[in-house]
Amino acid sequence: MNQNKITAETIRAMKARGKKVAALTAYDFPMTRLLDEVGIPFILVGDSLGMVVLGHPDTTHVTMAEMEHHVRAAARAKPRALLVADMPYRSYETVARSVKNANRLVVAGAEAVKAEGGREIIGQVRAIVAAGIPFCGHLGMLPQHVREEGGYHVKGKKEPEHQALLADADALVAAGAFAIVLELVTAPVAGEISRRIPIPTIGIGAGTDCDGQILVTPDLLGMLPWFSLKHVKPRLNAAEQMRAVIRGWIDNVNASRTR
């Protein structure tokens, strides 16, 4: 094995070393390879693929078979980064199902799994960790619950929500999670959780006091010009650059046809 291979333990230990965790999503071989070549330590095959690759309105449409397909593609890049796979909607409803499906993602090439929730899935988290599969938590806005919640709402504003987030974070730590994604959590609450727990928090729309940050790569690169998000300002207008290149190529093709 590559001596420099990044494991879940490496990510966990980054907090004690004062190192921030920069994490991005990838859904296929070329993006995984590109992210790995620039040194991202944590690559997530997110179920966001349902929206940003497959064109669904939310992540609840993603199946295990689709996750396995994309994890296999990403794993072919053999990244030095830790390759984490999302457990899709309803794939971890029971303890037995969660271990079986986490194993399927590992067989496809994942080195760790992530699932959404805290105390309500703690039996599943314990069982996945006991099966030897590193587990990353996900608290705050849980995209797999978007339909019952009626949208993407910031969490932690109300005191009961704040207390629930602290209790969920503690429970995930006790169950053996190596890191926790905090999505759309108020910055003060995300900061409080980050100071409270020994494992890294990786924020998305959760302020700058987290131990790391994660973004959906197509959002960062401006590949989805049809949607705008409050928590990310694209650093490239990839969609417009691609359109310009393709228009130029079409013009060349059309020009070369004339005799």
> Given the rule CB under 6 A, which residues bind ligand KIV?
25, 44, 46-48, 86, 181, 183, 204, 214, 216
Candidates 66, 183, 192, 240; catalytic one: 183
Cα–Cα distance, 202 to 88 (Å, whole number): 19
Contacts of 129 (CB under 8 A, 6+ apart): 135, 175, 176, 177
Q: Nearest approach, Cβ of 27 to ligand KIV (angstroms)? A: 9
Q: Nearest approach, Cβ of 46 to ligand KIV (angstroms)? A: 2
Question: Of the two residues 228 and 241, which places its CB atom closer to ligand KIV in the complex?
Answer: 228
Cα–Cα distance, 169 to 47 (Å, whole number): 21
Report residue 113 as tokens: 């799994």
Question: Of the two residues 68 and 183, which places its CB atom closer to ligand KIV in the complex?
Answer: 183
CA 28, 99, 30 angle in degrees (round to 5)? 5
Whether 159 is a known active-site residue: answer no
Question: Of the two residues 223 and 250, which places its CB atom closer to ligand KIV in the complex?
Answer: 223
Cα–Cα distance, 122 to 173 (Å, whole number): 10
Q: Nearest approach, Cβ of 194 to ligand KIV (angstroms)? A: 16
Distances from the Cα of 79 to the Cα of 43, 109, 120, angstroms: 9, 11, 32
Q: Nearest approach, Cβ of 88 to ligand KIV (angstroms)? A: 9
Q: Nearest approach, Cβ of 117 to ligand KIV (angstroms)? A: 12
Cα–Cα distance, 130 to 227 (Å, whole number): 40
Cα–Cα distance, 119 to 156 (Å, whole number): 16
Comparing every residue's Cβ against ligand KIV, the nearest one is 46
C-alpha 32 chain-centroid distance = 13
Phi, psi (5° rounding) for residue 3? -60, -30
Active site residues: 183
